[in-house]
Amino acid sequence: MGKKFSWGRTLGCAASVAALMAGPAALPAAAHTSDAIVSCAGSNTIEFSPGLSLQARRTRISGSGAYSCLSADPDLKWGKSVITGGGSNGCFASDATTVEHITWNTGETTAVVYRLGNVQQVAGQAVVLVTGRVASGKFEGRTVTSPGFQLTVDPLRCASAKGVQLITGPSTLLIV
């Protein structure tokens, strides 16, 4: 795939929480479900190595997602993804490069590079609003918005030597 892009620095906890709580109304006009060619709901599980700590540090990111979808393509019903990346991540802020490789139920694939993002770790709970572009495969060139709220089992782990190694929770995927 070649060149990867970096998520922008985080914008602040209040903005993240407000965007997530407001739902689609907080997304850019082009990202509203009625304009989307694909609108998916599902969940993500993300692992960090080393785990997220109080201070941001270099980490590797790996994970997966599973989505049920509505699409302009009547054959497209669901997708599963593999998420990879890395960067500077902590329990209160993240700045990382992330790629999501999605395999659709049709057998087609999509590779999304998230180049703009706001990921806040609110006491170990990740509030996510990322925007990217389909770099290759089905929907190439399209914009992708993916808000979500991933929970940790034990946010007090931020202060431990191992840190928060796993977050999981609901996520959406809008391709416009």
Name the pLDDT band for 18 (thresholds 50, 70, 90). Answer: very low
pLDDT score for 116: 56
Structure tokens at 154: 């034990």
Q: Which residue in this structure is represented by tokens 């060139």? A: 141
28-58 residue pLDDT tens: 443 334 456 999 999 999 899 999 888 889 9
If one looks up domain 13-175 in CATH, what number appears? 2.40.350
**Would you tell me how many other CB atoms lie within 10 Å of the CB of residue 10?**
20
pLDDT score, position 94: 76
Q: For the chain, what's the residue count? A: 176
Rounded Cα distance, 101 and 113, in Å: 9
Please say if the pLDDT value at position 3 is more than 70: no
Q: State mean pLDDT over 136-161.
A: 83
Distance CA 76, CA 104 (A): 7
Question: What mean pLDDT, rounded, does the chain reach?
Answer: 77
What token pair was written down for 106? 């049709």
Secondary structure of the chain: what % helix, strand, coil (to 5)? 15, 55, 30
| Exposure on the CB side of residue 130, measured as CA atoms within 13 A | 28
Tell me the pTM: 0.74
- Give the whole-angstrom CA distance, residue 156 versus residue 136: 39
Q: Are 171 and 146 in contact (CB under 8 A)?
A: yes
pLDDT of 61-115, one tens digit each? Answer: 999 999 999 999 999 999 999 999 988 888 777 788 899 999 999 999 999 998 6
Q: Which residues contact 161 (CB under 8 A, 6 or more apart)?
A: none
